[in-house]
């Protein structure tokens, strides 16, 4: 299987993760013009599972290093399989709430608040689970990003008042999603041997196998979580499976594309974790918050009616995010 051999490549993979995790929400925004997000989400989950299968039988099976996918799956301990599967369930619950927050409040709010919170808590959880990197610089980065999250929330509150609509539901959904999101990565990381991908411990899984089991957890739990959400949506009228199957192929493919984009980022992030460490790899990947905020502000114009002072706050928010991300990168040197 393909294995990352140096820190620089690991960091590059984390940056690609950042772009992927921060950009998949655009597919939901595109689909929302004609398609409810509960229906979009089915295609998104299918895309994630599809990418995990493709990566498992390509990068996860070719080459001399480590165990190939099928060999690795056959020897995996049930405890580790259960851990990765549980990570998928937790992620799915969090991501459905995040999708709801995007639909209610937009990308430039849902991502900085929800994923930003997930970054802060997740880095702490993953660092104590696998201590790799300078803790001082890691937590300086976390503190800077925390400040950026607070600034973003204040800016959103100001914009809401300017538009005569204070939507606290979007903030609440983002916070709950962020807390849940902070835990999923630790369950996947625990199922792998992060110290040695070349000769992983017996019973532990390679990143490719862990991603596949994780994706199965997302797909299986979606029959419960998303079915409930379709019948009792957080926003708008209920939808049903008949409506889903009436959707155009092009509309379905937008959602699948979103899942493929997120799946690519997830796979690269876990491959990088062996060299960078779980806390740094996860923290940089969740820098997706910055990417999503850029999309929301400059492409979707979610702050177009805000005052000059609010725009300055957004600029300061971006600055703190960048400084925080640089600090986390430096922690691994």
**For 79-92, what is each residue's pLDDT tens digit?**
999 999 999 999 99
SS3 200: coil
pLDDT at 145: 83
- Compute CA distances 86 → 63, 81, 153, 172, 196, whole Å: 29, 9, 31, 24, 23
Mean pLDDT of 236-254: 94
Q: What Rg do the C-alpha atoms of the chain give, in angstroms? A: 19
Mean pLDDT of 125-152: 86
Q: Which two tokens stand for residue 99?
A: 């999708």
Q: Which of 98, 53, 60, 90 is nearest to 218 (CA)?
A: 90
Residue 107 has pLDDT above 90, yes or no: no
Q: Which two tokens stand for residue 181?
A: 């999101």
Residue 109 has pLDDT above 80, yes or no: no
Out of 104-108, 130-134, 324-328, the most confident range is 324-328
Any idea of the CA torsion for 40, 46, 48, 50, to the nearest 10 degrees?
A: -150
Give the tens place of pLDDT for each residue, 195-207.
899 889 999 999 9
Any idea of the CA torsion for 251, 253, 258, 263, to the nearest 10 degrees?
A: 160
pLDDT at 212: 98
d(CA 155, CA 176): 20
pLDDT at 161: 56
Under 8 Å between Cβ of 201 and 214? no
More confident residue, 267 or 235: 267
Q: What's the pLDDT band for 172 if we cut at 50, 70, 90?
A: confident
pLDDT at 102: 78
Write out the E strands in the chain.
Answer: none
d(CA 88, CA 269): 15
Residue 130 has pLDDT above 80, yes or no: no
Q: Which of 10, 333, 270, 329 is nearest to 140 (CA)?
A: 329
Residue 250 has pLDDT above 80, yes or no: yes
Backbone region of residue 133 per phi and psi (left: phi > 0; alpha: psi in -120 to 50; beta: other values): left
Q: What's the pLDDT band for 164 if we cut at 50, 70, 90?
A: very low
Residue 12 has pLDDT above 70, yes or no: yes
d(CA 292, CA 115): 10
Weakest-pLDDT range from 17-26, 145-154, 237-246:
145-154
* Domains in the chain: boundaries: 7-331
């Amino acid at each position: 299987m393909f294995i990352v051999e140096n820190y620089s490549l690991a960091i590059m993979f984390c940056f690609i993760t950042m772009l992927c995790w921060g950009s998949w929400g655009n597919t939901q925004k595109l689909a929302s013009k004609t398609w409810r997000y509960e229906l979009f989400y089915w295609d998104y989950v299918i895309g994630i599972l599809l990418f995990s299968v493709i990566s498992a039988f390509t990068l996860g099976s070719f080459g001399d290093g480590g165990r190939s996918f099928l060999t690795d799956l056959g020897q995996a301990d049930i405890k580790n399989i259960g851990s990765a599967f549980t990570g998928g369930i937790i992620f799915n619950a969090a991501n459905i709430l995040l999708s709801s927050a995007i639909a209610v409040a937009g990308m430039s709010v849902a991502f900085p608040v929800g994923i930003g919170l997930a970054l802060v808590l997740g880095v702490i959880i993953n660092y104590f689970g696998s201590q790799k990197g300078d803790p001082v610089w890691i937590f300086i980065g976390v503190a800077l990003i925390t400040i950026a999250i607070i600034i973003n929330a204040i800016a959103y509150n100001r914009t809401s008042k300017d538009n005569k609509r204070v939507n606290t539901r979007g903030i609440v959904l983002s916070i709950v999603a962020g807390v849940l999101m902070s835990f999923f990565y630790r369950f996947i990381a625990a199922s792998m041997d992060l110290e040695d991908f070349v000769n992983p411990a017996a019973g532990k899984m390679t990143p490719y196998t862990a991603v596949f089991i994780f994706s199965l957890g997302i797909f299986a739990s979606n029959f419960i979580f998303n079915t409930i959400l379709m019948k009792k949506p957080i926003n708008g009228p209920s939808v049903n499976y008949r409506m889903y199957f009436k959707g155009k192929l092009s509309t379905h493919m937008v959602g699948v594309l979103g899942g493929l984009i997120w799946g690519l980022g997830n796979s690269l992030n876990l491959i990088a974790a062996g060299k960078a460490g779980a806390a740094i790899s996860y923290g940089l990947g969740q820098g997706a918050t910055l990417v999503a905020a850029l999309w929301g502000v400059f492409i979707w114009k979610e702050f177009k009616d805000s005052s000059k002072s609010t725009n300055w706050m957004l600029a300061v928010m971006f600055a703190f995010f960048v400084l925080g991300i640089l600090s986390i990168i430096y922690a691994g040197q």
